[in-house]
Amino acid sequence: MSKQDGSSRQVTTGPVDDSATPILHVDMDAFFVSVELLKRPELRGKPVLVGGTAGRGVVSAASYEARRFGVNSAMPMSVALQRCPNAIVLRGDYASYATYSKQVMGIFEQLTPLVEPLSIDEAFLDVSGARRLHGSPAEIAWTIRERVRAETGLTCSIGVAATKYVAKVASSRAKPDGMLVVPAAQTVEFLHPLPVSALWGVGRVTEESLLRLGLRTVGDVAAMPHDALERAVGPALAERLGRLANGIDPRDVHTTRTEKSIGHENTFGHDLVDPVEIRRELLRLANNVAVRLRKAGLVGRTVTLKLRYGDFRTVTRSRTLAEPTDVARRIYDEASDALGELIGDGERVRLIGVRAEHLRPSGGGAMLWDPDEEWRDAERTIDQVTAKFGTGAVRPATLVRPGGERRSERPSRGPDDDDAEAAAAGWGW
């Protein structure tokens, strides 16, 4: 049994058939803000934001009181304060967030070994094998909510369903501090009234395309002839949306997360115009991406450049390499070529990002001739020096600034990560 309140919130309130719903999606409620409120309980009930205030700071997280003013994660802080002038802004304490995340994930792992973390504050769980010890899926979800509250003082929302996609949708409908079980037999009934934006993979542009076709709900997409949907959004997306609209999602819960991409990006305090300065930052980003690749024992076959102009236009360009690489010089050269196609004289640049994609383990086979051999040897030597003497002990001369000034950037895991709080804090692109 479930009920829906005056908002879109929907929660399970009584007995329900959870016999075929072994997948849980657990999402912490306003995680960063909630951790801060443990230290500042006097701020409960007030509009609170976590994020940067200097220059072009963004909102990492917003309390539900602030969200009522239209404030969202990843929104520029200046815009957030215009919408909610009385908001209380706190700087993030990411070490604390990591500590609480580890504690919460530990609770999950005590109930089932099948835990797939998605970000610092959410995870999928498969509780198929935990029934004998801990009860039905709904009972396990209830136990998790109670233990998280008792052991951390935080709250979470949980979706319980037959598939990962439906469980994630259910947890979002149950927010804040709720649980929603979607019986397997009622999956389509649950999904079809929802707006098309509830479909995984439907962003603003795709949503606009679907709305122009008169498709406003998930049910509308399910009823759309496949060939017409394919003409509208392309064959790959049409196939995926058609399956999801009918509740079909064969993905299993994976206990190890394979990185699909590794990247870094910078949003600058002021727009960059000088081509030399822009390429210096590009080299810095390429260097940091290469270091992370080597640490992870990975190489990337594709290099992607992300560029945001001063007017907020955002473009990406990708280059596929003849051989995958973990060499900063190669990553920089490919990104630099792409950059040359995108900026002209006087072009103002607000953000630059570099990402390596199509990753695989390094050492997967020797090449007859390695054009990057000398650069690779040099960069691995720098890795060894850095490990001994610390980051910044050795770096390209181009990146050395007078007075030791250095820019900071945030790492990214790639566009698959759709968690705005994590993205704004550096856990996603």
Looking from the CA of 71 toward its CB, the CA atoms found within 13 Å total: 33
Q: 5 a known binding residue?
A: no
- Asked whether the beta carbons of 43 and 37 are under 8 A apart, the reply is yes
Q: Residue 336: CB partners within 8 Å, gap ≥ 6?
A: 279, 282
Instruction: List, as one string, the DSSP characters of 148-184.
Output: HHHHHS--EEEEEESSHHHHHHHHHHT-SS-EEE--G
Q: Which residue has the tokens 């390499």?
A: 321
How far, in Å, CA of 315 to CA of 351, rounded? Answer: 10
What is the rounded distance in angstroms from the CA atom of residue 368 to the CA atom of residue 345? Answer: 41
Q: Of the listed 122, 265, 334, 379, which one is catalytic?
A: 122
379 is catalytic: no
Query: How does DSSP assign 92-124, residue by residue?
Result: --HHHHHHHHHHHHHHHHHH-S-EEEEETTEEE
Cβ contacts of 290 within 8 Å, gap of 6 or more:
326, 327, 328, 331, 356, 379
Distances (CA, A) of 46 to 19, 34, 149, 182: 40, 12, 20, 33
Sign, CA dihedral 355-358-363-369, equals: negative
Sheet containing 261-272, strands listed edge to edge, beginning at the edge strand earlier in sequence: 314-325, 298-309, 349-361, 261-272, 410-412
Rounded CA-CA distance 283/407 in Å is 12
- How many Cβ atoms from other residues are within 10 Å of residue 248's Cβ? 14
CA distance 360 to 327: 14
User: 121 a known binding residue?
Assistant: yes
Catalogue the active-site residues.
122
Binding residues for Mg(2+): 27, 121
